[in-house]
Structure 1
Amino acid sequence: MRIHTLDLRFQGIPGLIASYLVESGGEFALIETGPGSTLAALRSAIRAVDVDESAIKKVFVTHIHLDHAGAAGWWAQQGATVYCHPNAARHLIDSSKLIDSARLIYAEKMDSLWGDMLPAPAERLIVLQDNEGVPLGEVEINAWDTPGHARHHHAFVLGDVCFTGDVAGMRLEHSSYLSVTASPPQFDPVAYVQSVDRLMAAKFKTLYLTHFGAVSDVAAHLANYRQRITEVYERVAAGFREGISTEENRRRYAAAEHQAAMQAGVSEELWLKGESANVTSMCADGVRLYCEKQP
């Protein structure tokens, strides 16, 4: 088995969004498609590793957020089979609600950031249940239901490696600072920690993060990330109980995360780069929304 990390150079910036090309027994699968705006970069990266994109018959998306699955419909329209979570399929077939919601947030930046999200023909989609596997050459790709970031989230497991989507967070260029992926509307710290615990118990050799790249210090990474999920939740929950405004919550969240990143040795340039992929204001809103829903 061979795994190729494909850097999609989101907004022209390296190291923010990855797709993974898996080769086994003469078969090829793509894990994560990235957004429509990086489709040309993805296709170029596939050619750069001497693979004909027409040979890619299986495409796996961890969840339907635009930075992970925005180009899935294009692949389905080319004849590939797209595998997804049961709660994701309807949004890949008809992405209008997803796009309309995103446009409310990103406004005039929507098209330049995310590009087109084409509809996937229903007959090209296969939903996977928890622990269900798909053969690929000499290996099997297994779907693990891993909510917390989103209720429609899968991690994909191949033996002792795991493609984590957003459930293991975002790591900036191998720094010790981990950014919690917590954008609205489905952040759930209880489910999130349970999903991380499931990954920890598996003792994987390598994690492949969509944001970004291979992680070999798996136990330390997951232990750190587990702590970070609890940390950001407890911080926002305290402010919510205090009665602070949405804007003040965003300000405090950004200030605390910036301080944590600086203490971990992240440069200001790298911090701003991370903000391009996991905006602190959106994460602050995602955590606060969970607090607002609690009885």
Structure 2
Amino acid sequence: MSTPTAEFCQRQSDGLYVIDTGFVRPRFDAAFLIVDNGRAAYIDTGPNNAVPRLLAALESIGLERSAVDYVIPTHVHLDHAGGVGLLMSELPNAKMLIHPRGARHLVDPTALMEGVRAVYGVEVANRDYGELVPVPEDRVMTSAEGMVVNVGKRPLRFMDTPGHARHHHCIWDEATRGWFTGDTFGIVYPELHTPNGPYIVPATAPVQFDQEALHESVGRLLAERPALMYLTHFGAVAHPEQLSVQFLSQVDEMVVAARALALVPNRHEQLKRAFAEIYIAELRRSGSTLPESFLRDMLAADLELNAQGLGAWLSKH
């Protein structure tokens, strides 16, 4: 097989490719393509607009669409799963393999789209995600804790990983000793790398953030002693044990700040300010000298979503 030449598809290792979906900006949102013995699987897809790139990546490594056995969203948030139905309509043999709590939302995406429009507004939701294509029920498989499927001869194992969302699973690739983590291990933007390496932004988007479950899920991921974490936002990161300390300490600081702001007026804006201080302080501790205005611009969308997520968490607690 030839190595992909398209600039948006990069070979990570033997049989593993990182596809930049083009969502939002370059190197923001990834899909992964696993290939072994002439068979293939996608992990995460990006939104509908990413599907031409995903198909072009497959073609560039010399595989027919019929070679794809699985499309595996880590969870149903649309930057990870919005393109699943449309992609599968082009893949005659593929099954969607999804967490059991998420399956119904992609079989009938009506409620999912309503939720996205409520969070982002109708105009942005339509622009960024379009209309979701339902996945036929007879093409759906659900994961279970410890379940193993093979792509060719390459085993992939599933772990139930709530914390970011209850419908989230992570996928273990024994061949590279790496986890495909979706949003369970946070977000890394290449633009925010520091002299100490990657900086992790917590991901606590509405509406299922759970601090204790997140700590437990990350601990279980690390128990495998992974060499790499494959983040949908964006790409492979090494030294996961070290990064987990940075990640979870910020999450815990966010919870403390949120509790302190639970009853204040204009709570949402106060949460955004508090979280910005937490993130920028961590970036400075890691040696970042980027201008604060740039950092705030880069973090703006995460501050908004994370404030919404902690706001929803406060309302439940």
Aligned to 1:5: 18
Gaps of 5+ in 2: 1-13
Alignment identity in percent? 30
Superposed, 1:115-194 pairs within 5 Å as: 115-159=130-174, 160-173=177-190, 174-175=193-194, 176-194=198-216
State yes or no: 1:38 paired with 2:50: yes
CA RMSD of aligned residues (A): 2.1
Aligned to 1:290: 313
Aligned to 2:105: 91
1:83-107 CA-partner distances (Å, limit 9, x unpaired): 0000000001001111011112222
280 and 50 in structure 1: CA distance in 2 versus 1, 3 angstrom threshold: farther
State yes or no: 1:76 paired with 2:76: no
Aligned to 1:60: 72
Which among 211, 233, 249 is matched to residue 211 of structure 1? 233
Q: Which has the higher helix share?
A: 1
Asked whether the 8 Å contact 2:45–2:84 carries over to 1, the reply is: yes
Asked whether the 8 Å contact 1:183–1:282 carries over to 2, the reply is: yes
266 and 41 in structure 1: CA distance in 2 versus 1, 3 angstrom threshold: farther
Q: Distance in 2 between matches of 1:228 and 1:49?
A: 40
Which among 34, 46, 54 is matched to residue 22 of structure 1? 34
Secondary structure of the corresponding residue to residue 181 of structure 1: coil
Secondary structure of the corresponding residue to residue 144 of structure 1: strand
Asked whether the 8 Å contact 1:58–1:82 carries over to 2, the reply is: yes
Letter in 1 for 2:50: T
CA apart distance, 1:120:
0.3
Q: Distance in 2 between matches of 1:288 and 1:188?
A: 12
CA apart distance, 1:67:
0.4
Asked whether the 8 Å contact 1:16–1:274 carries over to 2, the reply is: no
| Structure with larger RCO (C-alpha < 8 A, sep 6+) | 1
TM-score, normalising length: structure 1:
0.91
CA apart distance, 1:273:
4.1
Aligned to 2:218: 196
Q: How many residues align?
A: 291
266 and 38 in structure 1: CA distance in 2 versus 1, 3 angstrom threshold: farther
Which among 85, 98, 119 is matched to residue 105 of structure 1? 119
Asked whether the 8 Å contact 2:38–2:63 carries over to 1, the reply is: no
Q: Distance in 1 between matches of 2:101 and 2:248?
A: 25
CA apart distance, 1:207:
0.9
Q: Distance in 1 between matches of 2:130 and 2:77?
A: 13
Q: Distance in 1 between matches of 2:154 and 2:309?
A: 37
Which stretch shows the higher mean deviation, 24-33 or 149-158? Answer: 24-33
125 and 266 in structure 1: CA distance in 2 versus 1, 3 angstrom threshold: farther
Which among 221, 230, 254 is matched to residue 276 of structure 2? 254
1:196-238 CA-partner distances (Å, limit 9, x unpaired): 1111111011110001101122221222222222122222122
TM-score, normalising length: structure 2:
0.85
Aligned to 2:11: none
Which stretch shows the higher mean deviation, 186-195 or 101-110? Answer: 101-110
